[in-house]
Amino acid sequence: MTFQGKTHPMARRRQIYEGKAKILYEGPEPGTLIQYFKDDATAFNAQKKGTINGKGVLNNRISEHVFTLLAGIGIPTHFIRRLNMREQLIRQVEIVPIEVVVRNVVAGSLAKKLGIEEGTPLPRTIIEYYYKDDALGDPLVTDEHILCFGWASQEELHDMADMAIRVNDFLSGLFAGIGIRLVDFKLEFGRIWDNDYSRIILADEISPDGCRLWDMTTGEKLDKDRFRRDLGGEVEAYQEVARRLGLFPEGEDSAVLDLESHRKRRGK
Ligand code: TMP
């Protein structure tokens, strides 16, 4: 085979950005991008690195499903359509450099910071903001910092908080219906410009990478904490979330996701 013959189709596309779990490529039309989901997993600001086989395929599908449902209740999102197993077409946005974390139950950094036992239900939902800066380790910030340093305007902050609560209400119900407790999750938002005006839409992804999802009866973790805490069974956990959401019921997708048979076919 010639070198040209070996060229991967993706090589023809211009890469715009590579993150820890995704790559963004130039889209087919102006104002669009292609979001590629990798199997790479990181934790603790990339101090821990690994791969979760098939994660990209699962997150692409789970995020497509969730964003489609959110669009259905009127949440504007960057998602246009899924293109293939690992890629989706999205609207190009200017990412707001803030991670919006919504918490219903004490877990993770909140448990550690305040010395409260993980699993303690919160009497009201908490929204936290983290400034997206890897060199600083994404520090927790308040709305005062966000406004003072101009990372978002008052109106944008209001829109983000408002959408975060709507997403939380909807997703808490969606997951409760399939026996999963939505403990906490992270959202990212972006601006889209229309001449001199901009508005905020939901961006990034919603998947077990950025959510804590606990089985309601057993308490089993069905999210990236399996990787963060070396619990094992990451793929099975992500697959279980997809399965309960009614994704990959049958057909070729499920065959590809049946990693056990995939490995056997390849003799690994
Ligand atoms: P935390 O308890 O570590 O602060 O995480 C809260 C939620 O945010 C949890 O569902 C995982 C998610 N998250 C991310 O998606 N990216 C991150 O970089 C961090 C720190 C948390």
Provide, rounded to the nearest whole percent, the portion of the chain with pLDDT above 70. 88
Residue 221 Cβ contacting ligand 1 at under 6 Å: no
Nearest to 88 by CA among 26, 37, 15, 35: 35
Asked if 200 and 163 count as a contact pair (C-beta separation under 8 A), the reply is yes
Question: Over the chain, what is the mean pLDDT?
Answer: 92
Residue 204 Cβ contacting ligand 1 at under 6 Å: no
**95-215 to CATH, choices 3.30.360.10, 1.10.1490.10, 3.30.70.2860, 3.30.470.20:** 3.30.470.20
Q: What is the rounded distance in angstroms from the CA atom of residue 220 to the CA atom of residue 36?
A: 29
Instruction: List the domain boundaries for the chain.
Output: 95-215
Which region among 5-9, 96-100, 183-187 has the lowest average model confidence (pLDDT)? 5-9
Residue 185 Cβ contacting ligand 1 at under 6 Å: yes
Q: Give the ranges where the chain is alpha helix by DSSP (H).
A: 3-6, 55-72, 108-114, 143-148, 154-176, 225-228, 234-244, 252-257, 259-265
User: Residue 75: what pLDDT?
Assistant: 98
pTM: 0.91
User: Residue 249: what pLDDT?
Assistant: 57
Ligand 1 mean position to 1 CA, how many Å?
A: 45
Q: Across residues 257-267, what is the average pLDDT?
A: 48
**Band of the pLDDT at 248, cuts 50, 70, 90?**
confident
Ligand 1 mean position to 185 CA, how many Å?
A: 7
**Band of the pLDDT at 6, cuts 50, 70, 90?**
very low
Q: Indicate the top mutation candidate among 101, 129, 141, 185 to test ligand 1's pocket, ranked by most ligand atoms within 8 A of CB.
A: 101
Question: Residue 134 burial (CB < 10 Å; 0-12/13-18/19+)?
Answer: exposed
**Cβ–Cβ contacts within 10 Å for residue 262, how many?**
14
Model confidence over 79-119: pLDDT tens digits?
A: 999 999 999 999 999 999 999 999 999 999 999 999 999 99
Model confidence over 8-18: pLDDT tens digits?
A: 555 578 999 99
Ligand 1 mean position to 186 CA, how many Å?
A: 6
Nearest to 254 by CA among 85, 65, 124: 85
User: Residue 3: what pLDDT?
Assistant: 38
Ligand 1 mean position to 158 CA, how many Å?
A: 21
pLDDT at 188 exceeding the cut of 70 = yes
